[in-house]
Amino acid sequence: MKDLIEARILSAVRGLLTGRVNEILQGMENAVPVIEFGEYCGVDSIVPLIALSYCERNEKERIVRLEAYSLSITFCLPETRESELYCYAYSGTVSRSIYDDPTLGGVVDRAIVTGKKYIAPRTPHCGDGWSLEMTLRITVEQ
């Protein structure tokens, strides 16, 4: 059963990113690459990395039998003039989408954004790119 819920969480997050987040991105004033999953990654799209891990529960969560997960979404962008803007755009649209649908379409009890980390290239114009690391805490009733 645990493997099933983990697969459903990952599927719901991918669906949120390719659905609602892309919808918001396409309605923006500036052109921002859309999110896709698969083999292709070019100028017009980006493939974020998603990692899910089981995390420690607090006492209340143990009593009411909630499972807690930590999910990270990492966007790696090549260094361009717009890369920093894209990081902020992805951060805002993912946060807004989670705020609008904290149950990820009814798959989880609650998902919240717990952290955002913007990482600039160490040395400009050396091949390193910008990246955004977002962390979410997800709870699911057992």
Domain spans, the chain: 2-141
Tell me the β-bridge partners of 48.
none
33 close to 48: Cβ distance less than 8 angstroms:
no
The two tokens of residue 99 are: 């705020």
In this predicted structure, the answer to whether residue 105 has a pLDDT above a threshold of 70 is: yes
CATH placement of domain 2-141 = 3.30.2000
Query: Does 26 or 38 have the greater pLDDT score?
Result: 26
Phi and psi at residue 64, in whole multiples of 5°? -90, 10
Instruction: State the CB neighbour count (10 A cutoff) for residue 43.
Output: 9
User: Per the confidence metrics, is the pTM higher than 0.75?
Assistant: yes
